Amino acid sequence: MIEKDLGFVLRRYNFRETSLIATLYTSRFGKIRGIFKGFYTSKREFSSTLDIFTLNEFVFYPKRSEIWLVSFADLILDYSFLRETISKARLGALFLKLIDRTMQLWDRNFFVFHLFKDCLYWLNQKEELKTSYIFLIKFLALCGFRPQLNHCLTCEVELKEKAFFNTSRGGLICKNCYGSFNFSYEISKETILSFLYIQETTFPQVLRLALTLNCRKEMDYILREFFLHHLEFDIFPGFPLPAPQEEELLALPPAERVAASKRGVYCG
Ligand SMILES: [Zn+2]
């Protein structure tokens, strides 16, 4: 049966003289692999350059074999801003690589598609810093790897103050149970609430959240450990963004400090 869908180009390579094989992340079919026969022969059916990151409309023929025939590709959005700023390119590449590595072929996830689309949009709206945390936190939840942050993993008491993150258990331990876990990292209540706010709030409201340097430091720890341990994926060096240290920022004249805070570098 013939199908039409929107999809991002995640990866591509040339096939024989004139054709192209690409990995796409589509809205309704999830990750698919497609062959574009005659792509380099200027076929009218392929009006898109099919660059990495581009969003296109595709017509294809789903079947049991791994590679599907794609008969039509029309460019919808090219996200060329990603090629103009290194930090944005790096974050976009991190999002794309995570989707490609984590999502299985034909594993449909409409919400991952829209998270990627929304985050690329907000990356272009000078919201790099927050968008990067929002993508990673929401992506984990959508893939079924939601860190347990509401209750202590051991005694199940509701967490009302600071707690301790335990990587192998994938969540928080209260101060009373902390003694029995050797490798746990203290997390402030502010960070726990920020993490939960991001998990539960949609765009654009989620961007209202202010992230202090301490909150970012603790989120960096949780995210890096969680991705490494549960998805075997190191989110560094693509993350976090280069940002001034608190001391550097305080050394700035007040006007520049305000400008830096407006850029979202520091939201204390
Ligand atoms: Zn406990």
What's the one-letter identity of residue 26? T
- What b-and-e string marks burial along 244-262, b requiring 16 or more CB atoms within 10 Å of the CB? eeeeebeeeeeeebeebee
Q: How far is the CA of 196 from the centre of ligand 1 (A)?
A: 19
Which of 80, 96, 113 marks a domain boundary? 80
Report residue 265's pLDDT band, with 50, 70 and 90 as the boundaries.
very low
Which of 63, 80, 97 marks a domain boundary? 80
Same structural domain, 247 and 128: yes
Same structural domain, 170 and 225: yes
How high is the pLDDT of residue 236?
A: 78
Report residue 179's pLDDT band, with 50, 70 and 90 as the boundaries.
confident
| Mean pLDDT value of segment 94-109 | 93
Same structural domain, 207 and 74: no
Q: How far is the CA of 155 from the centre of ligand 1 (A)?
A: 4
> Long-range contact list for 87-90, CB < 8 A, 24+ apart?
87/128, 87/241, 87/242, 88/123, 88/124, 88/128, 90/238
How high is the pLDDT of residue 235?
A: 86
Q: How far is the CA of 180 from the centre of ligand 1 (A)?
A: 10
Tens-place pLDDT, residues 21-31 = 999 999 999 99
**Burial of 92: CB neighbours in 10 Å, binned 0-12, 13-18, 19+:** buried
With 50 as the cut, is the pLDDT of residue 104 above it? yes
Same structural domain, 141 and 65: no
| Mean pLDDT value of segment 107-132 | 93
Q: How far is the CA of 159 from the centre of ligand 1 (A)?
A: 9
Cβ distance 266 to 244 under 8 Å? yes
Is 57 among the domain residues?
Answer: yes
Which of 35, 64, 80 marks a domain boundary? 80
Is 249 among the domain residues?
Answer: yes
Q: How far is the CA of 215 from the centre of ligand 1 (A)?
A: 22
How high is the pLDDT of residue 259?
A: 52
| Domain extent at residue 35 | 3-80
Q: How far is the CA of 223 from the centre of ligand 1 (A)?
A: 22
Is 72 among the domain residues?
Answer: yes
φ, ψ for residue 245, nearest 5 deg: -70, 160
Same structural domain, 184 and 76: no
Q: How far is the CA of 166 from the centre of ligand 1 (A)?
A: 12
Tens-place pLDDT, residues 215-264 = 999 999 899 988 988 889 888 765 655 454 444 444 444 554 555 444 44
Same structural domain, 124 and 257: yes
Tens-place pLDDT, residues 193-228 = 999 999 999 999 999 999 999 999 999 989 998 898
Is 157 among the domain residues?
Answer: no
How high is the pLDDT of residue 239?
A: 62
Residues near ligand 1 ion, CB 5 Å cutoff: 152, 154-155, 174, 177
Report field, pTM of the whole predicted structure over 0.95 = no
Same structural domain, 111 and 231: yes
Same structural domain, 127 and 233: yes
Same structural domain, 76 and 110: no
Q: How far is the CA of 137 from the centre of ligand 1 (A)?
A: 24
Q: Using alpha carbons, select from 54, 60, 36 the residue that is nearest to residue 46.
A: 36
Same structural domain, 65 and 176: no
With 50 as the cut, is the pLDDT of residue 114 above it? yes
Close Cβ partners of 217 (under 8 Å, ≥ 6 residues apart): none
Is 231 among the domain residues?
Answer: yes
Q: How far is the CA of 152 from the centre of ligand 1 (A)?
A: 5
Is 156 among the domain residues?
Answer: no
What's the one-letter identity of residue 111? F
With 80 as the cut, is the pLDDT of residue 183 above it? no
Is 97 among the domain residues?
Answer: no
Same structural domain, 251 and 129: yes
Q: How far is the CA of 201 from the centre of ligand 1 (A)?
A: 27
Q: Which two three-digit tokens encode residue 9?
A: 């180009």
Same structural domain, 50 and 113: no
Q: What is the CATH number of the domain that holds 33?
A: 2.40.50.140
| Mean pLDDT value of segment 122-127 | 88
Is 217 among the domain residues?
Answer: yes
Tens-place pLDDT, residues 132-173 = 999 999 999 998 888 889 899 999 999 888 899 988 888 999
Q: How many structural domains does the chain have?
A: 2
φ, ψ for residue 166, nearest 5 deg: -115, 115
